Amino acid sequence: MQSFYRRSLLLLVLLQIITPGQAQGLGEADALDCTIEPRTLAEIGSAEEGIISEVRIKRGDRVTKGQVLAVLDSVIERLTVDLARVQAEQDVEVRTGEAQAAFRQLERQRAQTLSERDILSARDFDEAQIKETIANLEVESANIRRDVAEVELAMAEARLARRTIRSPVDGVVTEVIGVEGEYVHEQATLLTLAKIDQLNVEVFVPVDRFGEIGLGQTAIVQPVEPIGGRYEAMVEVVDQVFDAASGTFGVRLQLPNEDEKLPAGIRCRVDFQTGRGDAVVSSDE
Instruction: Write out pLDDT tens, residues 95-125.
Output: 999 999 999 999 989 888 888 888 888 888 8
Mean pLDDT of the 197-210 span: 93
What pLDDT score does 29 carry? 54
Sequence letter at residue 229: G
What pLDDT score does 212 carry? 87
Report residue 15's pLDDT band, with 50, 70 and 90 as the boundaries.
very low
Judged against a pLDDT cut of 70, whether residue 3 lies above it is answered with no
What pLDDT score does 259 carry? 86
Mean pLDDT of the 133-152 span: 93
Contact in structure between 91 and 146 (CB atoms under 8 Å): yes
What pLDDT score does 229 carry? 92
Percent of the chain with pLDDT over 90: 66
User: Which residue did the predictor score with more confidence, 131 or 17?
Assistant: 131
Judged against a pLDDT cut of 80, whether residue 26 lies above it is answered with no
Judged against a pLDDT cut of 70, whether residue 126 lies above it is answered with yes
Report residue 10's pLDDT band, with 50, 70 and 90 as the boundaries.
very low
Mean pLDDT of the 235-250 span: 93
Q: What is the pTM of this model?
A: 0.66
Instruction: Write out pLDDT tens, residues 34-92.
Output: 999 999 899 999 989 999 999 999 999 999 999 999 999 999 999 999 999 999 998 89
User: Which residue did the predictor score with more confidence, 26 or 139?
Assistant: 139
Judged against a pLDDT cut of 70, whether residue 217 lies above it is answered with yes
Mean pLDDT of the 148-156 span: 95
Judged against a pLDDT cut of 90, whether residue 17 lies above it is answered with no
Please tell me the CATH superfamily of domain 2-43+170-175+191-276, with its number: Efflux pump adaptor protein, beta barrel domain (2.40.30.170)
Q: What angle do CA 172, 175, 179 make, to 5 degrees?
A: 120
Judged against a pLDDT cut of 80, whether residue 277 lies above it is answered with no
What pLDDT score does 198 carry? 92
What pLDDT score does 124 carry? 87
* Per-position DSSP letters for 26-91, written without gaps between them: ---TT-EEEEEEEEEEEEEE-SS-EEEEEE---TT-EE-TT-EEEEE--HHHHHHHHHHHHHHH--
What pLDDT score does 18 carry? 38
What pLDDT score does 282 carry? 47
Count helices and strands in the chain by DSSP H and E runs: 4, 12
In angstroms, rounded to a whole number, what is the distance separating the alpha carbons of residues 211 and 14? 20
Q: What is the CA radius of gyration of the chain?
A: 34
Residue 11: is it exposed, middle or buried by C-beta count within 10 angstroms (0-12/13-18/19+)? middle
Strand partners, 175: 192
Mean pLDDT of the residues in the chain: 85
Q: Name residues whose C-beta falls within 8 Å of residue 134's C-beta, 6 or more positions apart in sequence.
A: 104
